[in-house]
Structure 1
Amino acid sequence: MLPDLLLIGLGIAIFPLSVTAFVLVLSADRGTWKGLAFILSWIACFVAVLAAVLITTGGKPPAPKSLPSTATIAVKLAIGVGLVAYGWYRHRVGGRTSHQVKPSDERDAPGGGRSPDGDETPASGKSSGRMSARLDRISGWTAAGLGPLLQPWGLVAAGAATVVGADLSRTSSYVALVVYGVLATSSLLAMELYAVFAPDTSRVRLGQLRTWFQTHQNQALVGVSTVVGLFLVGKSVYELTS
């Protein structure tokens, strides 16, 4: 169970949509407090999902080859297929966009052109600026509401299906669950602590991170979804046929 949760937790931690949104929250006015609200609601929702699974199973994994065990594997297979399909869809969409939008088009598009420093600014800069402006005005309660909303629910569902196999009579299962939770939240915690203890430096570094994710967001989504999806499909097929 631990290897599965490690891969899924890593995918959750680096999921680009969540990371980009959190960086924007940290960039807002009183961003560290809003970021804390975001993280606390994120963790609360994450723990609630795991608790619901463990309460349902009673902390005991279903017997091998039983109907619940087979159904759990089938759910993981379906999630894996869905993640691979999503990765393929993002790949196709990204490919069409890159062929349709040329550098000259970006410079001429609304919001494109050059920044005050003379650097090229992509056409998406205007929309990103509007998003930053909206997030700058959000309250702490709104930031808390964004936490559960922006979780990568496909990966969270994959983790929940894997946790069905947790045996709470064993210490190893507790260790696996704790490591999974910490790893899945590690990127948010690291950025929050960075913003608290090094506010000036973090503002620059996190801005660069946001720019990188915005530039490579589609490739990152394709990579994370495809890798985790193929892993779930391969392991599920093996478990169903062995």
Structure 2
Amino acid sequence: MVLDLFVIGLMIALNPLPIMAFVLVVSAPGGVWKGLAFILAWLGCLVVVIALVLLVTGGQPPPPRSPPSTAGLAVRLVIGIGLVAYAEHRRRRRPAADAARTSGESPSGSAEEPSALTRMDRTSAWSAAGLGVLLQPWGMVAAAAATVLQADLSHGATYLALIGFCLLATSTLLAMELYMVFAQERAARALTGMRAWLSDHKDPAIVLGCLVLGVWLAARSLYELTR
């Protein structure tokens, strides 16, 4: 369970779409507070999902080969296959997107940048919190929930693993928030540059992340189901 949660948490932390949105949030007026609202909502979603799973299981993993255990592995297998299929769909869509970009759009999406910044200037902390919920990579979170079915709360290490997963999945956002707190002007320039880079490279990053996690989940689930 611990290794699976580590891989899932890492893929969530490196997902470029929430990172790009968070940069816009913290770059807006009052961005530090809006960023904090985003992080709290993001982290709250992870905690609620884990708590609901533990509430259902009572903090005790289902016996091996039991229907709940098999169902959890089957769910992880389906999610893994779905992530691989999504990665392939996104990869096939890239040529058309690249053609559209070269025919009339700026590669870095700079035409949309002022409009996005203007909209973000008008958002409140509550709106930023809503973004933290909407931009959660829910497929990956569902995989984490299926993995948490195996959690055994009678061991103290389980608590550390669950806390570590939540912190790892939020680590990129926390790092950017702290950077803005302690070096706001320098952080704003660096994060804006990073967002421009991600805008050009987000599709390969999403494809790679979904493919890696999908293959991992599918392989692990098949192994557990067939051993």
State the TM bucket, normalised to the shorter chain. over 0.9
1:65 is matched with 65
> Once the two structures are aligned, what percentage of the paired residues are identical?
51
In the TM superposition, 1:175-186 aligns within 5 A as 175-186=160-171
User: What amino acid is the match of 2:107?
Assistant: P
Q: Which runs of 5+ in 1 are unaligned?
A: 113-120
Contact 2:101-2:107 within 8 A present in 1 as well: no
1:76 is matched with 76
- Superposed CA offset, 1:70-97 (max 9, x none): 0000000000011111111110111332
- Superposed CA offset, 1:171-200 (max 9, x none): 121111111111001001000000010001
Q: Which moved more, 1:121-130 or 1:184-193?
A: 121-130
- Give RMSD over aligned pairs: 1.3
2:46 is matched with 46
User: What amino acid is the match of 1:212?
Assistant: W
SS in 2 for 1:126: coil
From 176, 182, 189, give the equivalent of 1:204: 189
Deviation of the 1:124 alpha carbon:
2.6
Deviation of the 1:122 alpha carbon:
3.0
Moved over 3 A (4+): none
User: What amino acid is the match of 2:180?
Assistant: A
Aligned length: 227
1:241 is matched with 226
User: What amino acid is the match of 1:147?
Assistant: G
In the TM superposition, 1:118-129 aligns within 5 A as 121-122=106-107, 124-129=109-114
Deviation of the 1:161 alpha carbon:
0.5
- Superposed CA offset, 1:11-58 (max 9, x none): 111111111100110111111110011111111111011000000000
From 216, 227, 230, give the equivalent of 2:212: 227
1:117 is matched with none
Q: Report the TM-score when normalising by structure 2.
A: 0.96
Q: Which moved more, 1:88-97 or 1:67-76?
A: 88-97
Q: Report the TM-score when normalising by structure 1.
A: 0.91
From 157, 174, 177, give the equivalent of 2:159: 174
SS in 2 for 1:165: coil
User: What amino acid is the match of 1:146?
Assistant: L
User: What amino acid is the match of 2:117?
Assistant: S
Deviation of the 1:208 alpha carbon:
1.2
Q: Which moved more, 1:232-241 or 1:89-98?
A: 89-98
From 122, 142, 164, give the equivalent of 1:157: 142
1:144 is matched with 129
SS in 1 for 2:112: helix
2:199 is matched with 214
Bigger radius of gyration: 1
1:85 is matched with 85
